[in-house]
Chain A
Amino acid sequence: MSVPADRQYTAEHEWITVADGVATVGITAYAADALGDVVYVDLPSVGDSVTAGGTCGEIESTKSVSELYAPVTGEVLSVNSEVVDSPELVNSAPYEGGWLFTVRIEAEGDLIDAAAYTEITKA
């Protein structure tokens, strides 16, 4: 499973891309695969403040529930309503249509590059 080099990651299996100070957040293909079929996503609301490293939602598969951690600190600007309606997008397109929410960045958390993240998935 290849890890796209065009973005940053957290050790908790989130990815972010940054444009004009706004982060788009999702979970990695590795995480989506480990979860199994995602059936429900619980995302922060637009306007919520999230804190890097703090929990901000849940991802549920048929078998398990995982907490979602904010990779950055800031205000939530938008959430992906398509992924709320069709949680399977997290499995089918984790790096594209399965994005979860965007945040106006006030501070970044502990982010790593694709190579370092790949190491984590091999550990």
Chain B
Amino acid sequence: MQAAVPGPSAAPDGPAGPSSPLEATHRAAGATMTDFAGWQMPLRFAGDLAEHRAVRERAGLFDLSHMAQLEVTGPEAAAALDGALVSAASRLRVGRARYTMITAIDGGILDDLIVYRLDEHEFLVIANAANRLTVLDELTNRSEGRQVAVVDRTPHRALIAIQGPAAAGVLAPLIDADLSALKYYASVSASFDAHVPTLVARTGYTGEDGFELAVPAAAATDVWARLLDAGAEAGVQACGLASRDSLRLEAGMPLYGQELTAALTPFEVGLGRVVHLDHEFLGRDALAERSEHPTGTRLIGLRGDGRRAARAGSEVLAAGSVIGAVTSGVLSPTLGHPVAMALVTAADQDTVAVGQVLDVDVRGRFQQMTVTELPFYRRPATT
């Protein structure tokens, strides 16, 4: 048996590099670790499927300390971010957050980000681990000459997410802020367990209700243990990056490096809505041009029958011609059938419209998959 698609890395110790303050905790818990952008992070604890189901049915705890936490502060912080990002940070109200992107001058996506406005002149930018230094450099360069400081807080912080229908109930008693008043994509500064200064945000990457907690690195092990302990009765489970990937894929959320690359603009991947063309930013002219003249490349959802899943790289064909490739694919644990996202280029967009059946070359065997709306999974409406 040999891996045809990359699986977990076998490096036991990994190269010297940044490490999560929770790394020793995860190893002690018996987690299978993996290298992620130079970080040793938990791939799984109890098992991918059990963790995936825990998040859909109860709640799961994720260590996301590898994600970049970049602080942008100063009297011109809003103006600097406006010029650096595709959406206007200055229009964010204090306490709210926005999903956005940073692009190159040609409109190519350098990273997707969440920007939190913590105060009038204080923002937190969460970037992907692999793009930390790129985003740090770009934000610094694009702020030049302005009264703003861009500081990388990643090494001194941890990011812990609790996601799932039980998340709010488990977290609420531990936080001295009213979580029921905290809207989706909003954040609040609070104390965790009466002593840990915590930024609580109602954001996530799983398709479930949930929260992300930015805490000092020194408090990470306490916060992690306390949440696991407090959530034990509700069935909260420690989760790794494997289940995080299958959860985000079911929820139709793109991943940088898979669906998003510097060769694409937000318009090809169906995220044109995050681009505010009515403000000046680096890449605006190229994106304005692209919004008027689409390339014919787009990100689509595909669903298959049976259990054999198309994976990243599987070619997608229409009428015998290759029109693109799968960017992420999995046998959906929640839905029970294969799902995939694919980037396709079609002269006639009807070829890839919802309901069309395409052929996918799944490791040498053609399987039919049907174009379907994203996301594949939407959580049940709360009452």
Contact = CB atoms under 8 A, between A and B. Distances in A.
Interface of A: 12-14, 27, 31, 33-37, 39-40, 42, 58-69, 91
B381 interface: no
Contacts of A67: 1-4
Interface of B: 1-8, 10, 32, 43-44, 47-50, 52, 242-243, 245-246, 307-309, 311, 330-331, 333, 363
A68 B2 CA distance: 7
Given A33-B32, A62-B52, 12 more contacts: A37-B49, A40-B309, A40-B331, A58-B308, A61-B7, A62-B243, A62-B333, A63-B245, A64-B3, A66-B1, A67-B2, A69-B2
27 contacts: A14-B1, A33-B32, A34-B7, A34-B10, A35-B7, A36-B43, A36-B44, A36-B48, A37-B49, A39-B333, A60-B307, A60-B309, A60-B331, A61-B7, A62-B49, A62-B246, A62-B331, A63-B48, A63-B242, A64-B5, A64-B7, A65-B309, A66-B4, A67-B1, A67-B2, A67-B3, A69-B1
A64 B1 contact: no
A37 B242 CA distance: 10
A65 B8 CA distance: 11
Contacts of B331: 39-40, 60, 62
Contacts of B311: 65
A27 B1 CA distance: 7
B2 A39 contact: no
Contacts, number: 83
Given A40-B309, A40-B331, A13 B1 contact: yes
B330 A66 contact: no
B363 A62 contact: no
A48 to B, nearest CB: 15
B308 A40 contact: yes
B48 A60 contact: no
A123 to B, nearest CB: 9
A68 B1 contact: yes
Nearest to B3: A66
A69 B369 CA distance: 28
Contact of A42 (B3, B44, B308): B308
Given A37-B47, A39-B307, A40-B308, A64 B6 contact: yes
Contact of B1 (A31, A33, A36): A31
